[in-house]
Amino acid sequence: MAKLSVAILGSGNIGTDLMYKVRRSTLLELQLVAGIDPTSEGLALARKLGYETCTDGIEGILRNGKIKLVFDATSARTHLDHAPRLKAAGIIAVDLTPAAVGPGVIPVVNLQQHSTEPNVNLVSCGAQATVPIVAAINRISPVQYAETVSTIASRSAGPGTRHNIDEFTRTTARSVSDIGGAKQSKSIIVLNPAEPPIIMRNTVYAVVDQSADEKSIRDSVMAMAENIKSYVPGYKITVEPFLDGDHITTCIEVIGAGDYLATYAGNLDIITAAAINVAERYAETLSQERMAVNG
Amino acid sequence: MAKLTVVDVTLRDGNHTVRQQFSPELMSKIATALEASGVDMIEVGHGDGTGGSSIHVGRTVAPDSQLLQAVVSSVKRARVAIFLIPGFGTMVDLQQAYDLGVTVARVACHCTEADITEQHIQLARKLNMLAVGYLISFGMAPPERIAEEAKKMESYGAQYVNLADSQGYLVPHQVKEYIAAVQDAVKIPVGFHAHNNLGLAIGNSLAAVEAGAAYVDGSLKGFGGGAGNAQTETLIAALKRGGFPTEVDLFGILDAAATLVAEINKYPHLANVPMPTVDNDSIMMGYACVYGGYVLPIKRAAQEYGCDPRELVLRLGARKVVATQEDVVIEEARRLAGMA
């Protein structure tokens, strides 16, 4: 099967981590790493690995002509500019910024619904880690209210997250309802400065009917966790779902794959891994379409 | 000497003591008594601030809007303050508080994370509120780092910076050292918030004022997380004796403390709540530098999982838990009990 030609837009931590993951993918072919800072470490690493690079960002991508899909790992503000230009060029955008131009996607929950969207958004790392758990509970027993708490190492929270913590908090909460299915939701984010840095941890509280079957919920959550593990190997349920008063409590730890970012930064790993998963599904869909056309 | 302002936090930090069970009616009565005593600033809300009501750290009996409304409508002169931790409370919560008549926003974060307060401090300034930067658990970082973080808050527009010894971990000469370091770094006034784990809440508050703090937090009967805060009525008496007069009337604040006791006794579920005391657990919390808000979760978890609370405290101290990580308590307790 021919690989799907992709490019990475943004050569910071996230973009560089994506590069290592694309490199491993059997379905994606990295055409270009586009940055804007000629001295960036990410671009230097890309060149070292033999990838083509450019320093004029989106312009280089539009010039290339072969690229079918772009991972945008820049910032919300610049993605607002990139989105219409990519769309006009017929290039799929997998957006890792909080811009939310396209629908939010959590691969194990709703990727199917959005498999033909020209632009999808990865919501937030907190959402990638917690929304599937809410969805897994909700498919067994309707979740009246879900609350998610994500604790990440201070060192893994870049300036983008820090200066936009309010958007992060509200976007995550919204996806717990819109994608996870909870009637009401609240999300909390805690930055922990402990050294050595702590691994990303999440707790999900879900208020369910008193008649809900604890075992069915546990089975559903554990099955969901297995699905996530297929693309985030470090995803681990540390406290299995248990009924605690009026709600189900579940704790999750996410250890990063350590591709470029340190293993404690599971929060960054889970969002880059989700992006790769989304791109690979596009690669499969497009390849099937090609086969269908070729008869 | 600059004017010294006493900020009463009974209706916010004190909510920890009653597991977030203060009703709007009770809050209204206490606010009235505080204002009558001359207290100029009254902080209100969930113990972990506006937007804090949650399964994670406890649900309040009424939504923030009702708690704030009850207090705002009970006072004429006193300023009503909220406490807000970004990542927990949002700008939507801040805007709502402003719309309800709150005029002071104390925007708080763990002492090394000041840059998460930028959006909220800026919004408070835009709304013409008194914008306060609040550094939680400042004893967990050295004075020069705290000075840097205070400077960031000043650059965002904070009009004073409050330092909270949230674990009751520091002793007076250390408090002075921090206050001096921050004062050297910023032009805005500095405030101090004590906890009483090592029996030093009043002593540390006086040390802070001696070092030049212009704001000092207190709480009636010492109500507050863990071993409680500097008891406002004791603080007023001690400040007067120490030659630091405030606008608060001693008899008035004693009356307010008596009102708190009387009001609490009207509610059966509150009457049995233990008063903040320096018990063995809270000494351990101060000693190990574990956030005071954890004392109840630790006791509950130690009992539920049958482990030694002192061992649990030391483990949490070693993990350097920061405020609002209550879920770690259960995880460690289960580990200690051999369940996870």
Q: Mean pLDDT across the stretch B255-279?
A: 93
Q: Name all domains of chain A by residue range, CATH numbers in brackets.
A: 4-122+271-294 (3.40.50.720), 125-264 (3.30.360.10)
Closest CA to A285 of A114, A161, A131: A114
| Helix A214-229 and helix A125-138, axial crossing angle in degrees, nearest 10 | 140
Asked whether the predicted pLDDT for residue A196 surpasses 90, the reply is no
- Helix%, strand%, coil% for chain B, nearest 5: 50, 15, 35
Q: B223 forms bridges with which residues in the sheet?
A: none
pLDDT of amino acid B72: 98
Under an 8 A CB cutoff, do A166 and B120 touch?
Answer: yes
Q: Which of A104-113, A188-197, B178-187 is most confident?
A: B178-187
Asked whether the predicted pLDDT for residue A261 surpasses 90, the reply is no
- Work out the pLDDT band at A293, boundaries 50, 70, 90: low
**Among all residues of chain A, which has the CA nearest to that of B156?**
A163
Q: Which residues lie closer than 8 Å to B158 by C-beta, 6 or more apart?
A: B107, B117, B121, B131, B132, B133, B188
Q: Please say whether the beta carbons of A99 and A83 come within 8 A.
A: yes
Task: Report how far residue A15's alpha carbon sits from residue A73's, in angstroms, rounded to the nearest whole number.
Answer: 6
Please give the C-alpha separations between residue B17 and each of A4, B13, B270, in angstroms, as whole numbers: 59, 8, 10
Question: Mind listing the pLDDT tens digit for each residue in B85-94?
Answer: 999 999 999 9
Strand order in the sheet with A200-207: A184-192, A145-153, A200-207, A247-254, A235-244
Extract the tokens encoding A115.
């498999």
Instruction: Fill in the amino acid letter for B298.
Output: I
Residue range B5-270 forms a domain whose CATH class is alpha beta
B126 touches chain A (CB under 8 A): no
Comparing A100 with A145, which gets the higher pLDDT? A145
Comparing A117 with B176, which gets the higher pLDDT? B176
Comparing B156 with B3, which gets the higher pLDDT? B156
B319 touches chain A (CB under 8 A): yes
Closest CA to A259 of A226, A227, A234, A229: A234
Under an 8 A CB cutoff, do A189 and B87 touch?
Answer: yes
Find chain B residues with C-beta within 8 A of A126's C-beta.
none
pLDDT of amino acid B292: 66
Domains B5-270 and B280-336 share a fold: no
| Alpha-helical segments (H) within B45-135 | 64-72, 91-99, 118-126
Q: List the end-to-end C-alpha distance of chain A, in Å, as a whole number.
A: 15
Asked whether the predicted pLDDT for residue B226 surpasses 90, the reply is no
Task: Report how far residue B334's alpha carbon sits from residue A130's, in angstroms, rounded to the nearest whole number.
Answer: 22
Residue A227, min C-alpha distance to chain B (Å): 23
Q: Which residues lie closer than 8 Å to B258 by C-beta, 6 or more apart?
A: none
Which of B 24-63 lie inside 8 A of A, CB atoms? Answer: 54-56
Task: Establish, for the pair of chains A and B, how many residue pairs have beta carbons separated by less than 8 Å.
Answer: 84
Query: Out of A169, A191, A247, whose CB is closest to B113?
Result: A191
B340 touches chain A (CB under 8 A): yes
Q: Is the peptide bond before A196 cis (omega within 30 degrees of 0)?
A: yes
Asked whether the predicted pLDDT for residue B1 surpasses 60, the reply is no
DSSP of B198-239: TS-HHHHHHHHHHTT-SEEEEBGGG-SSTT-B-BHHHHHHHH
pLDDT of amino acid B232: 98
Q: Which residues lie closer than 8 Å to B312 by C-beta, 6 or more apart?
A: B298, B301, B302, B329, B332, B333, B336
Residue B320, min C-alpha distance to chain A (Å): 6
| Helix B118-126 and helix B91-99, axial crossing angle in degrees, nearest 10 | 20
Strand order in the sheet with A4-9: A53-54, A28-34, A4-9, A69-72, A92-95, A119-121
Task: Tally Cβ neighbours within 10 Å of residue A161.
Answer: 22
**Among all residues of chain A, which has the CA nearest to that of B91?**
A166
CATH level 3 topology of B280-336: Helicase, Ruva Protein; domain 3 (1.10.8)
Which of B 85-114 lie inside 8 A of A, CB atoms? Answer: 86-88, 90-92, 110, 112-113
Instruction: Fill in the amino acid letter for B146.
Output: I
Find chain A residues with C-beta within 8 A of B320's C-beta.
192-195
DSSP of A8-42: EE--SHHHHHHHHHHHH-SSEEEEEEE-S-TT-HH
Q: What is the mean pLDDT of chain B?
A: 94
- Work out the pLDDT band at A8, boundaries 50, 70, 90: very high
pLDDT of amino acid B315: 92
Question: Mind listing the pLDDT tens digit for each residue in B320-330?
Answer: 787 656 778 88
Find chain A residues with C-beta within 8 A of B119's C-beta.
163-166
Q: Where are the domains of chain B?
A: 5-270, 280-336
Q: What is the mean pLDDT of chain A?
A: 93
pLDDT of amino acid B2: 66
Torsion, Cα B250 B254 B260 B266, to 10 degrees, reads: -150
Q: How many helices (H) and strands (E) does chain A have?
A: 10, 11
| Helix B172-185 and helix B201-210, axial crossing angle in degrees, nearest 10 | 40
Closest CA to A84 of A106, A104, A62, A54: A62
Task: Tally Cβ neighbours within 10 Å of residue B304.
Answer: 12
Strands (E) across chain A are located at 4-9, 28-34, 53-54, 69-72, 92-95, 119-121, 145-153, 184-192, 200-207, 235-244, 247-254
Question: Mind listing the pLDDT tens digit for each residue in A26-79?
Answer: 999 999 999 999 999 999 999 999 999 999 999 999 999 999 999 999 988 899
Provide the percentage of residues in chain A whose pLDDT is more than 70.
99
Task: Report how far residue A286's alpha carbon sits from residue B81's, in angstroms, rounded to the nearest whole number.
Answer: 57
Q: Which of A107-116, B124-133, B316-325 is most confident?
A: B124-133
Q: Please say whether the beta carbons of B100 and B90 come within 8 A.
A: no
Under an 8 A CB cutoff, do B110 and A191 touch?
Answer: yes
pLDDT of amino acid A241: 97
Catalytic, B16? Answer yes
| Alpha-helical segments (H) within B100-195 | 118-126, 143-156, 172-185
Question: Mind listing the pLDDT tens digit for each residue in B158-173?
Answer: 999 999 999 999 999 9
Q: Please say whether the beta carbons of A43 and A52 come within 8 A.
A: no
**Among all residues of chain A, which has the CA nearest to that of B324?**
A190
Find chain A residues with C-beta within 8 A of B146's C-beta.
none
Pair type for strands A119-121 and A145-153: unpaired
Find chain A residues with C-beta within 8 A of B324's C-beta.
149, 188, 190
Query: Out of A147, A165, A193, whose CB is closest to B87?
Result: A165
**Which one from A30, A125, A208, A283 is the annotated catalytic residue?**
A125
pTM for this prediction: 0.91
Question: Mind listing the pLDDT tens digit for each residue in B270-291?
Answer: 988 888 999 888 899 899 998 7
